Amino acid sequence: MTITDLPQPNPGRARLLGTATLLVVAAGSAAGLFLVPADALQGEVQRLLYVHVPAAWLAMLSFFVVFVMSVLYLIQRDPKWDLLAVSAAEIGIVFTALALVLGSLWGKPTWGVWWTWDPRLTTTAIMLMIYVGYLVVRSFADDPEKRARWSAIIGIIGFVDVPIVYLSVLWWRTLHQPPSSPRSMAGEFVYVLLLNVAAFTLLYVYLMLRRYRLAVAERHVEELRLTRDDGRIT
């Protein structure tokens, strides 16, 4: 399989999706900032929830996509699955870090500390390290086929590991905050939260299209460099 027949997203449609994403994200942010009243107990800082929860959702979604793409790559050996997996991993890392930072910003005024060994918080940090390892392995592997194969294996092991890490940290720290669920929140808050989740999900699809395009371009460059160096002592 040559790199030149990798499927490419339609740029016009991607731009359209980008515009739609921008509008929905703006609407979600406006609703979260101005439309709903601040939380009676936590005050204004509770508004962070409208970005923190969608960011955490995207982190989970991304790593699930990494897992699926890794399995598909190992079955079909089509480079497009590998490029989609690395795109999802990078986006996942960005949103995992964002969720951690936002959680920390919320934790300082609410819990009084920047960091606490809460199971979800700790698991998120470990998850970040697992997928940073995934990306670093890629940067240290020179052969594109081996890089794809090895990182797909790490993507699968990591995905199997994360729930076990969560359970183990949960047993270690039996005191934890119950997660926000629609039942623990009043109606209007839920709608704003769902709007933001939808906005972030659109953003995810848009970022995936962009990052995948870039990954294809990177592979082209790499391929050109490899063929140029063929038969030459480097």
Partner 1 sequence: MKSSLALRTWAILWKDLLIELRTKQSFSAMVFFAALVLFLFGFAIGPDTATLSRLGGGLLWIAIAFTGMLSLGRTFQSEEVAGGLDGLRMYPGEIRAIYLGKLLANFSMLVVLEVVLVPVASVLLQLEPWGRFPLFVGITLLGTFGFSVIGTFYASLTQHLRARELMLPLLLFPALVPVFLGAVNGTTLALAGDPLDRIGGWIRLLISFDIIFFVVCVWIYPLVLEE
Verify binding: residue 115, partner 1, rule CB under 8 A. Answer: no
Q: How far is CA 108 from CA 32, 142, 144, in A?
A: 20, 43, 44
Number of C-beta neighbours around residue 26 at 10 A: 11
Distance CA 210, CA 221 (A): 17
Q: Give the residue with the Cβ less far from partner 1, 3 or 141.
A: 141
Binding residue count for partner 1, defined by CB under 8 A: 29
Binding residue (CB under 8 A) for partner 1 from 10, 76, 168, 184: 168
User: How are the residues of the chain apportioned to helix, strand and coil, as percentages rounded to the nearest 5?
Assistant: 80, 0, 20
Specify the stretch interacting with partner 1 by CB under 8 A; choose among 13-21, 28-36, 53-61, 145-153: 145-153
CB 165 → partner 1: shortest distance, Å?
5
Site string for partner 1, 37-56 (x = CB under 8 A): --------------------
Binding residue (CB under 8 A) for partner 1 from 30, 114, 172, 218: 172
Specify the stretch interacting with partner 1 by CB under 8 A; choose among 18-26, 44-52, 58-66, 165-173: 165-173
The answer to whether 122 touches 169, Cβ cutoff 8 Å, is yes
Residue recorded with tokens 């729930």: 163
Q: What is the DSSP code (8-state) at residue 3?
A: G
Verify binding: residue 165, partner 1, rule CB under 8 A. Answer: yes
Which residues make Cβ contacts (< 8 Å) with residue 123, sequence separation at least 6? Answer: 162, 165, 166, 169
Q: Would you state the structure tokens that stand for residue 20, as one six-digit string? A: 């739609």
Q: Would you state the structure tokens that stand for residue 187, as one six-digit string? A: 């109606």
Verify binding: residue 88, partner 1, rule CB under 8 A. Answer: no
CB 177 → partner 1: shortest distance, Å?
20
Binding residue (CB under 8 A) for partner 1 from 7, 113, 171, 179: 171
Nearest to 66 by CA among 166, 204, 221: 204
Specify the stretch interacting with partner 1 by CB under 8 A; choose among 25-33, 36-44, 139-147, 222-230: 139-147
CB 107 → partner 1: shortest distance, Å?
21
Q: How far is CA 91 from CA 95, 145, 174, in A?
A: 6, 22, 31
CB 125 → partner 1: shortest distance, Å?
9
Contacts to partner 1 by CB under 8 A: 74, 126, 129-130, 132-133, 136-137, 140-142, 146, 149-150, 152-154, 156-158, 160-161, 164-165, 167-169, 171-172
